[in-house]
Amino acid sequence: METITQMLARELGKDPKHVENVIALLDEGATVPFIARYRKELHGSMDDTTLRALADRLTYLRNLDKRRSEVKSAIEGQGKLTEELSAAIDSAATLSEVEDLYRPYKQKRRTRATVAREKGLEGLAEAIFAQEGGDPAEMAAAYVDPEKGAETVADALAGASDIIAEVLSDDADIRKALRELIRKRGFLCSAASTEEDTVYRLYYDFQQPILKLAGHQVLAINRGEKEEILKVSVTVAQEEALALLRRRCVKGSGKCADFVAAAAEDSYDRLLFPSLEREIRKELTDNACEGAIANFALNLKPLLLQPPVKGHVTMGLDPGYAHGCKVAVIDATGRVLDTAVVYPTYGARQKEEAIDKLSRLIRKHNVTHLAIGNGTASRETEAMAVEMMHRLGGGVSYMMVNEAGASVYSASELAAKEFPNYDVNLRSAVSIARRMQDPLAELVKIDPKAIGVGQYQHDMPQKRLDDTLSGVVEDCVNAVGVDVNTASASLLSRVAGLNATTAANVVAYREANGAFTARKQLMKVPKLGPKAYEQCAGFLRIPESREVLDNTGVHPESYDAARALLERCGYTEADVKAGEAAALPQKVKLLGEEKLAAELGVGLPTLQDVVKELVKPGRDMRDELPAPILRTDVLDIKDLKPGMTLSGTVRNVVDFGVFVDIGVHQDGLVHISQVCDKFIRHPSEAVKLGDVVKVVVLEVDEKRHRISLSMRQAK
């Protein structure tokens, strides 16, 4: 039998030795970001996504092993564990297969078959099921026992039928065969339980082969059923299923065979199909949830890694009707300079007052960028902002910012602690401005589920969703690196090796002792021990340190190798600090990478990573991504005409297409068929959230606020 290591290596297509090393590192408490970045030699340079998949699958397989042992132990306790059954349990590849094998031995609630056994009818059932001739009615006569409740031959036969039906229902091979039949030949059907027009109208008369169901269809149907708008069922050709069942249990012909066939039909209708229907529905839901969670994670990563708009005084506008538009001006470091509330939607006079007030703030603080939230009243606020920018004569641009989760943050305990003197609504404006300046640093303060780049997130298994999204946030934070002297506790808590307690201790130490001036000072932080330091040190940046390596992704364990490398190539740390080591990669290649790595006592991947860091100390990987679109004018949906070519930003990637912000209030939809010329199974194969793309307008429906776009026709 394959070991867990061998199985993982086969499934992931990786070297078993590398998989074994990763398992050992995980068991030692190493984090995925640390393993991905600083242990490449041990795992063959797997990326963080592969490592997380390995960790998830490892947990599943270990749980499977544990359940196998529990089941065997339980059956052995009944004195019924055979070598054949033990081997079948050991070779079961899924938890459902293990449970199928355990089913006949499981303690059951009182059933019709239980009652029949209490009447002493198990022997009759076994005799009939053997189908070795004879008349079931004649066999039953010997089992009539009024004292036990089997008062007539008919009672005895009915009880025997119930026992046979349950035996067939508990047969692992039969369940597996029928399950496969339903998967391959079954349909998921839904019908309306109301005549009202609802968002579920697509599913009022819906039938789709189970093999072809899309995850978003399953989740939509589930929600419609939960809201009692849809009635849902699984169907499969009954005669085909019964034929399969009869082939498995009916032997030849005769009265006993006919009796078993009738019991099999009862088993299918009463026990097998209802149970398997529930299983199939659960399986469809689980798969749809996994797909939706993966899609959410896929969208979340580029959202968190959006290029920051650094070094500018920024005005955040949180639009609204009743409570007005909340305004916050922040400096290049995110510090609040000024706040205000204006009412541009109340009327012409109030709009003029808003333009005048905001113009004065822009001039006073030299604001260069506006960050406008895309929620309620954003369309009117955007139009007012563009009019104001025209009057100012240029020098100011704006960007629509996804404000999902801003209200969650502003009402949180964290926001109250960060801005105790500001109203909840003004905190939202600050958050919107900071999202433009540094999306990652601001978005880590918010529950990832509230960021709004997924589908049906409230229907997902919440722990699984939380774990997956937390992993994405952790990977993004560590990929970028964190300035230990400016980062919030929220951001620090996402660094590998740190948690909420140690992150708060880092901030407290910084406030009590001043800025960190060296990485090794981190070891003085309470509760930040050697293991945590090993995990976090390489991801924390200290620009103020005299040691230039403290402001790079080079891990302290590789400092000696980095210094030896610089000396070997004729550079000093001062050259690195001054940005004068640009030719380092060429020198390393001339000396021979593999030879040099051996000479320095490090692996080739580590050498390559060290070289990258020394060329650009303190670099931000996000700066190398396409810059976000900053606008100076506004389009209205009325301005759009079929055939227009526009630039836009991908705002969401879902199963059926891509939503693109093209500068009007409503995002346009690029259906999956219009994403690219080649066939793709999912839009994420072609684009990711945050990509700047060219699109052609196909159709505009002003009344329903729908815009259809194409990326295929945009050249």
CB–CB of 344/354 below 8 Å? yes
Rounded to a whole number of angstroms, the distance between the first and last alpha carbons of the chain is 55
Average pLDDT over residues 53-59: 96
Kindly indicate the confidence band of residue 601, based on its pLDDT and cuts at 50, 70 and 90: very high
Distance CA 55, CA 61 (A): 10
DSSP per-residue codes, 216-276: HHHHHHHHHHHTTSEEEEEE--HHHHHHHHHHHH--SSSHHHHHHHHHHHHHIIIIIHHHH
pLDDT in tens, 445-467: 888 888 766 667 778 888 998 99
Laid out side by side, the sheet with 230-235 consists of 205-209, 187-192, 230-235
Q: Which residues pair with 693 in a beta bridge?
A: 648
DSSP 455: S
| Per-residue exposure over 442-466, b if at least 16 CB sit within 10 Å of its own CB, e if not | bbbbbebbebbbbbbbebbeeeebe
- Residue of 146, 526, 478, 469 lying closest to 295 (CA atoms): 469
CB–CB of 595/605 below 8 Å? no
pLDDT in tens, 178-223: 999 999 999 999 999 998 989 999 999 999 999 999 998 999 999 9
| Fold annotation for 4-105 | Arc Repressor Mutant, subunit A (1.10.10)
Laid out side by side, the sheet with 336-342 consists of 336-342, 325-330, 314-318, 369-373, 397-401
Stretch among 27-31, 84-88, 305-309, 625-629 having the lowest mean pLDDT = 625-629
DSSP 448: G
Q: Please report where in the chains the tokens 């088993």 appear, as a residue.
A: 267
Which pLDDT does position 190 carry in this prediction?
A: 97
CB–CB of 496/52 below 8 Å? no
**Which distant-in-sequence residues (6+ apart) come within 8 Å of 510 by Cβ?**
484, 485, 516
- Where do the H-state alpha helices sit in 269-377? 273-304, 348-365
Architecture of domain 511-624: Orthogonal Bundle (1.10)
Q: Up-side HSE of residue 117: CA atoms within 13 Å toward CB?
A: 12
Strands 645-654 and 657-661: antiparallel
Residue 715: is its pLDDT beyond 80? no
pLDDT in tens, 253-264: 899 999 999 999
DSSP 381: H
Provide the CA 467 distance to its chain's centre, in angstroms: 8
> Helices 604-615 and 593-600 meet at what angle, rounded to 10?
100
Strands 482-483 and 397-401: unpaired
- Where do the H-state alpha helices sit in 94-143? 95-102, 112-118, 122-130, 136-141
Is the sign of the CA dihedral 418, 422, 427, 430 positive or negative?
Answer: negative
Distance CA 552, CA 561 (A): 14
Distance CA 670, CA 714 (A): 12
> Helices 559-568 and 593-600 meet at what angle, rounded to 10?
130
pLDDT in tens, 111-167: 999 999 999 999 999 999 999 888 999 999 999 999 999 999 999 999 999 999 999
Which pLDDT does position 484 carry in this prediction?
A: 96
Which pLDDT does position 108 carry in this prediction?
A: 80
Q: Up-side HSE of residue 71: CA atoms within 13 Å toward CB?
A: 26
Provide the CA 580 distance to its chain's centre, in angstroms: 41
Which pLDDT does position 432 carry in this prediction?
A: 94
Q: SS3 for 6-48, per residue?
A: HHHHHHHCCCHHHHHHHHHHHHCCCCHHHHHHHCHHHHCCCCH
- Residue of 618, 535, 490 lying closest to 33 (CA atoms): 535
Which pLDDT does position 454 carry in this prediction?
A: 65
Residue 507: is its pLDDT beyond 70? yes
DSSP 340: E
Residue 535: is its pLDDT beyond 70? yes
CB–CB of 204/191 below 8 Å? yes
Percent pLDDT > 70 in the chain is 99
Average pLDDT over residues 52-58: 95
Kindly indicate the confidence band of residue 411, based on its pLDDT and cuts at 50, 70 and 90: confident
| Fold annotation for 637-710 | OB fold (Dihydrolipoamide Acetyltransferase, E2P) (2.40.50)
| Fold annotation for 314-446 | Nucleotidyltransferase; domain 5 (3.30.420)
Which pLDDT does position 107 carry in this prediction?
A: 82
Q: Which CATH number fits domain 112-186+236-298: 1.10.1030.10, 1.10.3500.10, 1.10.760.10, 3.50.50.60?
A: 1.10.3500.10
Q: Is 701 exposed, middle or buried (0-12, 13-18, 19+ CB in 10 A)?
A: exposed
Per-chain mean pLDDT for the chain: 92
Distance CA 156, CA 121 (A): 7
pLDDT in tens, 657-685: 999 988 787 889 999 999 998 899 889 89
Which pLDDT does position 453 carry in this prediction?
A: 66
Stretch among 94-108, 346-360, 529-543, 621-635 having the lowest mean pLDDT = 621-635
- Using CA atoms, how far residue 667 sits from 636, 650, 700, in Å, is 12, 9, 11
Which pLDDT does position 473 carry in this prediction?
A: 93
Residue spans of the domains in the chain: they are 4-105, 112-186+236-298, 314-446, 511-624, 637-710
Strand locations in 534-656 (E): 540-541, 645-654
DSSP per-residue codes, 258-275: HHHHHHHHHHIIIIIHHH
State which amino acid sits at residue 517. Answer: T
Residues in the chain: 715
Compute φ and ψ for 428, nearest 5 degrees.
-60, -40
The two most distant CA atoms of the chain are separated, in Å, by 104
CB–CB of 518/547 below 8 Å? yes
Q: How many of the other CB atoms lie within 10 Å of CB of 127?
A: 18
